[in-house]
Structure 1
Amino acid sequence: MKRMLASSAVGLAAVVLASAAFASDLKPEEQIQIRQAGYSFMGWNMGKIKANLQGEYNADQVSAAANTIAAIANSGMGALYGPGTDKDIGDVKTYVKPELFENMEDVGRLAHDFVAAADNLASVADGGDKAAVKSAFGDLGAACKACHKKYRADD
């Protein structure tokens, strides 16, 4: 088990470093488009969890969606907030407020809280307990809203 955790940590570190290197090669508009796609995919998976919590509960679907959210949250998306991604570029619109780029310590704390909540949801979802998933899902939603409230402009 320790070996698996160590290799997972090494693998995650490699992905984060590769993500940063990859993102620096992208144009600002490509960074915006990719980060928006990541958030859209997380939102779609959150919708699947919400539907399961409100209707017939399928633990396998919830676990798959929660693990997808955690994987994206841990993918190093912060690297997609590079120079020039604080404003619209041609037809590519961003909803990030410029204040995000001025408050990186706060953003880092919010991002850490978001990743921790996503990881917790994935762990809880793997257990299959609907009530525990509902609580962890609420925590993840609160982590999302904490950043949106400060750093996401209205549509």
Structure 2
Amino acid sequence: MSVKFKGTPTSLSGKQINVGEDAPEVILVGKDLNEVKVGGAKGKYQIINVVPSLDTGVCATQTRKFNEKAASLPNASVFVVSVDLPFAQGRFCSAEGIENLVVASDFRNKSFGQNYGVLLAGSPLEGVLTRAVFVVDPSGKIVYKEICEEITQEPDYNKPLEVIK
């Protein structure tokens, strides 16, 4: 699969997963350096909000919007996943008042990027994650997937929530 960065096609590496398939459970690193597990069966919905870097305007906006929407979802856990260092994620959350979602970093081995097929390859952003949103149902199945065609554009915020409600 390919996406575009400022109009230029770039490829993704890793295993593409699709709606109806099991969501791989991946261990990431939280802003406090503790393990954060995403994917797999958790007994509630998971919205996995994937961004290239919290240090960009579009990624910050995407994270703020999902943080706002997460406050009204008692039956879901909401995550933001990037390859930013956990310390930078923590600073971002503190500065932005992000309290309703869990930040998780894929910086160590890029296992999320590889297992979900969202690791950028062959572009100026090679090695970071592309912009995407996954919804995992309580039994661990992917019930929604959006990989943004253009990395610099925001995802649909309503469709993932509609899947849960």
TM range (shorter): under 0.3
**Relative contact order: is structure 1 or structure 2 higher (C-alpha 8 Å, sep ≥ 6)?**
2
Query: TM-score normalized by structure 2?
Result: 0.23
Where is the strand percentage greater, Structure 1 or Structure 2? 2
Question: TM-score scaled to structure 1, two decimals?
Answer: 0.24
